[in-house]
Amino acid sequence: MDGLPNSPAARDAATLVHGFTNLAAHRRDGAKIIVSGKGVYVYDDTGRPYIEAVAGMWCTSLGFGEEELIDAAVEQMHKLPYYHTVASKSVGPAIDLAEKLASLVPIRNARIYFALSGSEANDNLVKFIRYYNNAIGRPLKKKIISRINGYHGSTLGAASMTGIPVQHRAFDLPLPGFLHTDDPHFYRNGLPGEDEAAFVARMAGNLEAMILAEGPDTVAAFIAEPVTGAGGVVIPPDGYFSAIQAVLAKYDVLFLADEVITGFGRTGRMFGCETFGIAPDTMTMAKGLSSAYQPIAALALSDEIYRGLEKGSDSIGFFAHGTTYSGHPVAAAVALRTIEIMERRGILAHVQKVSRRFVERLRGFADHPLVGEVRAVGLVGAVELVADKATRARFQPLGAVGKFVRERCEDLGVITRQISASDTIAFSPPLIITEAEIDEVFDVFGRALDDAMAVRPV
């Protein structure tokens, strides 16, 4: 590794364990250290600016250095830096935020529980659904169906729902009771001669066959991201979610919407469920909830599920689940201010406006010789690079061209996301991005693609 033995990168490599990283390569190559940020830009420890075209981990929706969010945290720190919400204690910011979220989510009379991360929220949800079904006398109805390539987090339950094989391998996952149905990615999984309508019917038919094979009385829920994020920014064909919801309704299977990426404006509406016509029973949210300025996640539960929890808690004696930081007042105050800023500054209208440019610029790459498919909705999108446009053949080895393009973009001052060592490059910039900044991102990406032509494997 370049640099002095006491440089931040050397000290990092000596002590810090990194997630989603090749650990040996990291020890050799070291980290890029980010020290500050403003707007859509972050700065490394040499002072170099980069446009953060994935908003960190698809999360800093209001950009970096937003003074109002900093003020919200400082004000709450002075007032009450910590108190908890267990054993019938509560704090004002958690109450205000719960009320606000309940008024926003497309779930009637929603009840809100707070967690710290998307993984924790989804993991908690698995427990809550089990508790609910036990309380209402359905002790067998416990299995959860998620989708191949879906991403729901890294804790035991959330990683079991995740449908990305590398996240199961060597972790002895998934746990029993977690099943995976089709990835609704038409470009990759459509059959020769199959149109989108037939593809959707096949997806719904396979889900129904799985529920019947398992026994409907054993299947509790189906979980999906409105747009699959970490699995490749997959946008299902028209009609997919209505066909899936019809199957779920038939067998009394809950729809759990994972809005960790799509929540809070990413698709141009407040929630992805609104963009894609989903009527969920629960919703998990994180990331954009606080513009990632504080670690906070939320679960919205239907009144019916909540009443099950209350019933179970009454018969057992109490609801024996809780954490120290659930409803943390500083995190809740920052999340509340985030939503308030979104409303006051018209962030949704801004996304609707600039996303036209974002989608148009992304689609402009469709004819590039390296590009197989362009996918985009709102301010989230991806470009899948292929070795052969006609056959859709992937590059071998998979990921080398994607890595080159990601690194080239970074050399040119734009941080993108390479999807799980593949040749798909994702974009999910802060929602405050301007049209001029969108142009800057895609001018750089275009140069990186052209440069990749010279080095691609043949």
Ligand X SMILES: Cc1ncc(COP(=O)(O)O)c(C=O)c1O
- Site residues (CB under 6 A) for ligand X? 57, 117-119, 122, 151-153, 225, 229-230, 258, 260-261, 286
Shortest approach of ligand X to residue 287 CB, angstroms? 7
CA diameter of the chain = 68
Q: Which of 239, 247, 236, 243 is nearest to 210 (CA)?
A: 247
Given the complex with ligand X, which of 273 and 401 has the nearer CB atom? 273
Given the complex with ligand X, which of 57 and 175 has the nearer CB atom? 57
Given the complex with ligand X, which of 104 and 116 has the nearer CB atom? 116
Shortest approach of ligand X to residue 378 CB, angstroms? 15
Given the complex with ligand X, which of 330 and 444 has the nearer CB atom? 330
Shortest approach of ligand X to residue 154 CB, angstroms? 6
DSSP 190: P
Count, residues in the chain: 458
Using CB positions, name the residue nearest to ligand X.
118
Shortest approach of ligand X to residue 260 CB, angstroms? 3
Contact (CB, 8 A) for 225 and 258: yes
Given the complex with ligand X, which of 54 and 253 has the nearer CB atom? 54
Strand 424-427 relative to strand 380-385, pairing: antiparallel
Q: Which of 337, 296, 281, 252 is nearest to 108 (CA)?
A: 281
Region of residue 164 (phi > 0: left; psi between -120 and 50: alpha; otherwise: beta) = beta
> Which string of DSSP letters, residue by residue, matches 248-282?
HHHTT-EEEEE-TTTTTTTTSSSSHHHHHT---SE
Shortest approach of ligand X to residue 328 CB, angstroms? 15
Q: Which of 380, 306, 298, 377 is nearest to 339 (CA)?
A: 298
Given the complex with ligand X, which of 117 and 267 has the nearer CB atom? 117
Contact (CB, 8 A) for 362 and 449: no
